[in-house]
Structure 1
Amino acid sequence: MSSVEDRKPGRRARLRAQTTAEIKRIALEHMAEQGADAISLRAIAREMDMSGSAIYSYFDTRDDLISTLIGDVYTALVEAVEAARDAVPEDDPGGRIVAWGEALRAWSLANPQGFRLLYGDPVAGYRPPVEGPAPEAAGRACLGLVGLVAAAWPSARTSQEDPSARWSDFSEDLAAKVRERHPDLPPAAVALALRLWGRMHGPVALELHGHLGPQAHHPDRLYRLELLDLVRSLGLPGS
């Protein structure tokens, strides 16, 4: 039977995880109320009745906290769009594109502060890590979009191939990962993946920032029509 001493590290770890989660929750609340620039470790410590020095045992700097928040938010978004895509059979590339796009919108509407943290104005004074605040999630998102295009490429190639596209148009890291995973895919397909992202992301950003509301009473319908038009432009049947 385990002794009380044996159980102490587990209890400390749980308490630390709870406190870390509370710090992140309050940071997002402050962001929602006052914008991302309002995120402050000292302000969070005051709200939690912690000493200023105690909170720094959880996050060394405000930048560390912001990077952690971005990583959490980005991972949650990627998991949502991947799950939606994977719920559609692989032999329906058009349906998988629509599922990814609709999951992006649904997640963004449910998590507006997370969306703004990822895609809004940069946080004043924030310096991300050299590799970026969420390299794993960003890589999954990018390669996921390329995978959608790869599945559609046999149909899309005729209308979408750009003979001027070069691998040097993209970062070395992205180009290397795509060529490893999809060795037969040309650079024009990567350009198409980025355009695909733009057509999905643009209407969502307009809606989240309040630019569609006065003009459109049913932005959900507009968004689905945009996705279906996107799918048809790739030579795929609509869903």
Structure 2
Amino acid sequence: MSGDDGVRAGADMTRRERLRAEAIREIRTIALRQMADDGPGAISLRGIAREMRMTPRAIYSYFATRDDLITDLINGIAASLAEEVEAACGAVPADDPGGRLTAWGQALRRWALANPEGFRLFYGNPVPGYRPPEGGPVDATARRVCRGLTRLVADAWPHARHLQPEDASWSDLHPDYAAEIRAELPDVPPAAAALALRIWGRMHGLVALEIDGHIHPVAGDPAALHRAEMHDLVRSLGLS
């Protein structure tokens, strides 16, 4: 093969990779739209193939099974959310734990409003028949979000004036979850890990109600309501 032939082959490979990436993006977009229109159980590789005018055999070269597609979607959603909340926290000084928690909660809301179907897939009802890979990338990617919030709470723990470390023990948490936290964040006390779950519940609750359309009929300004909840959360921790 001549030098020119080698350059052309390299260019062709780059083009194939680009076309494959574009096809995968379109598959993901259609899958989320299927879910938005008819629920999570409507995600179908054959339906996506029909819409893209591909043969079933062709689409299976991108995702061998529907479960593989759903796993890919969840991984991408979790990574996107993690990047959003991490960037928001990174913009707040480390010596302002209340501000960092507020930024985390507001970033969660911003991301959810921009990605409602992703939020539902990640946090909503499980997809019928879906079996995630055991110990696979979904678990690791999803843990990144939870671990980040737990780290924030642990960093805030010394400054939280209204809390007592003896309020919780590792036995209060699910054994698998406790083992993960103790392995990945060995300096985090069990009460801080338990508090992170309670904080996540408060941050998540209003967002889930808003995404499902329950807030707008009763709140004139959902953003202000969520902001007030975050400020109250921070004050309740003695971090204001």
TM-score, structure 2 normalization = 0.91
Question: Structure 1 residues 217, 164: closer, same or farther in 2, change over 3 A?
Answer: closer
Contact 2:44-2:66 at 8 Å conserved across structures: yes
Alignment correspondent of 2:114: 110
What is the CA-CA distance between 1:40 and the residue it aligns to? 0.3
Q: CA deviation at 1:4?
A: 1.5
Matched, 1:134 2:138: yes
CA deviation digits over 1:170-228, x for unaligned, max 9? 35564355445654432011000111100000010111111112111111111111111
Contact 1:152 1:234 in 2 (8 A): no
Q: Percent identity?
A: 58
Assess, with a 3 A threshold, how the Cα gap between structure 1 residues 124 and 164 changes in structure 2: closer, same or farther: same
Task: Give ranges in structure 1 of 5+ residues lacking alignment.
Answer: none
Counterpart for residue 24 of structure 2: 20
Cα deviation code 1:77-125 (max 9, x no counterpart)? 1110110010000010000000000000011111111111111221111
1:139 Cα offset (Å)? 1.9
Which one of the candidate residues 126, 129, 135 is aligned to 1:125?
Answer: 129
- Partner residue, 1:147: 151
- Distance, in Å, in 1 between the alignment partners of 2:178 and 2:50 is 46
Counterpart position of 2:69 = 65
Structure-2 change in CA distance of 1:10 and 1:66 (3 Å): same
Larger CA deviation: 28-37 vs 60-69:
28-37
**1:49-74 C-alpha deviation (Å, 9 max, x unpaired):** 10111111111111110111111111
Alignment check: 8 A CA contact 2:102 2:231 kept:
yes
Structure 2 unaligned segments of length 5 or more: list them: none
State the distance in 2 between where 1:233 and 1:132 align.
37
> What is residue 224 of structure 2 aligned with on the other side?
221
Select between 120-129 and 178-187 the one with higher mean Cα deviation: 178-187
Alpha-carbon separation, structure 1, partners of 2:137 and 2:148:
19
| 1:196 and 2:199 correspond | yes
CA distance 1:5–1:155, change in 2 (3 Å): closer
CA contact (8 A) 1:70 1:117 kept: yes
**Whole-Å Cα distance in 2 between the matches of residues 185 and 26 of structure 1?**
41
